[in-house]
Each structure stands twice: as structure tokens, then as C-alpha cells.
């Protein structure tokens, strides 16, 4: 079923917080990004249910960046994340951009595979990006340490 994906004015974005908290435990970090005028937040609706959210920092000359993207836990694995990514990719040329970046943790194997299926390629490693997380967090038996940056480029 197709999602209805729409930009949300920055002064009305806080309703996205519960969904985005599944992407990042740092509520204050999320609030800061949601209220940042350089970022655009998106709500993804399945009928009248909030199915997901994304936040992008659009740039015209440099690479734009997906700061957050999340699908509600009960709706994952049904193609909704891909619909959100496709919406952002289709908006890239409308925003005057050619490159879209997204970062994910080295231990987030499902995310890494997902982004590559959406046309992103591995681009950069930010070593020790998650060193501030104490005690250490593990996923798939791998310590969360580095951020992998993936890049989507229009041809």
C-alpha cells in the first residue's frame, strides 16, 4: 500500500519524536534536529496512521544528508522504508542537489543492506563515531564503534 509522504513545518514536527526515538535514543538530539530550520522533516502516513518519518538537511551545492529515517516497528519489512527513500531521492534534483548521504552504525547490518538495495554505495567510515556510548552497545555481536556513510548520486 503506498504511503502519503509530506513535509512537516518545523514548528509542528514534535509529533514525529516517538517514531524517531526508535532511530536514536538521544531525545534532545532529535528535538534539536527537528527544530533546526536547515532541516526538513517528513511524515509518512498509512491511511491516518503515522507509519514513519525522515529528516533531511538539503544542500544545493554540497551533499544533502538524511539525518534520520525510521519506520514504525510494527510496519517494518513491508517496503515502507524504501518508499520514503524513493521520495527523498526523487526530491533531490528538485532541491538542486545531486548527492544524498546517509550514515549508519557498523553493527547495523540490516540498515547497511537496506541502503545498498536503495542504490546507495559505501562512501566513508567515521572511525570511533559512537565512542561516546557507554556502556558499549552491540548488534549481531559487533560493538557499535564506527559510522558508515553511504552515498546516493544522481547520474
pTM of the model: 0.92
* Whole-number percent of the chain with pLDDT over 90: 84
Helix (H, G, I), strand (E, B) or coil at 130: coil
Q: Which of 31, 10, 6 is nearest to 21 (CA)?
A: 31
Fold classification of 98-155 (topology level): Aminopeptidase (3.40.630)
Q: Which three cell numbers stand for residue 87?
A: 521520495
Give me the CATH code for the 1-97 domain, please: 3.40.630.30
Q: Is 98-155 the same fold as 1-97?
A: yes
Q: Which of 148, 143, 68 is nearest to 103 (CA)?
A: 148
For the chain, the domains span 1-97, 98-155
Q: Render pLDDT for 64-85 as a digit per residue (tens, 0 to 9).
A: 999 999 999 999 999 999 999 9
**Residue 124, CB half-sphere, CA atoms under 13 Å: how many?**
9
Amino acid at each position: 500500500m503506498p504511503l502519503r509522504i509530506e513535509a512537516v513545518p518545523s514548528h509542528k514536527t514534535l509529533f514525529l519524536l516517538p517514531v524517531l526515538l526508535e532511530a536514536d535514543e538521544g531525545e534532545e538530539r532529535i528535538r534539536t534536529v527537528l527544530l533546526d530550520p536547515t532541516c526538513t522533516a517528513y511524515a509518512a502516513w498509512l491511511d491516518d496512521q503515522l507509519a514513519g518519518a525522515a529528516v533531511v538537511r538539503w544542500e544545493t551545492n554540497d551533499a544533502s544528508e538524511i539525518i534520520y529515517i525510521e519506520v514504525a516497528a510494527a510496519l517494518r519489512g513491508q517496503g515502507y522504508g524504501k518508499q520514503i527513500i524513493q521520495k527523498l531521492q526523487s526530491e533531490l534534483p528538485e532541491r538542486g542537489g545531486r548527492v544524498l548521504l546517509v550514515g549508519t552504525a557498523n553493527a547495523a547490518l540490516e540498515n547497511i543492506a537496506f541502503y545498498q538495495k536503495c542504490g546507495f554505495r559505501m562512501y566513508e567510515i567515521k572511525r570511533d563515531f559512537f565512542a561516546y556510548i557507554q556502556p558499549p552497545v552491540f548488534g549481531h555481536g559487533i560493538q557499535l564503534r564506527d559510522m558508515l556513510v553511504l552515498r546516493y548520486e544522481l547520474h
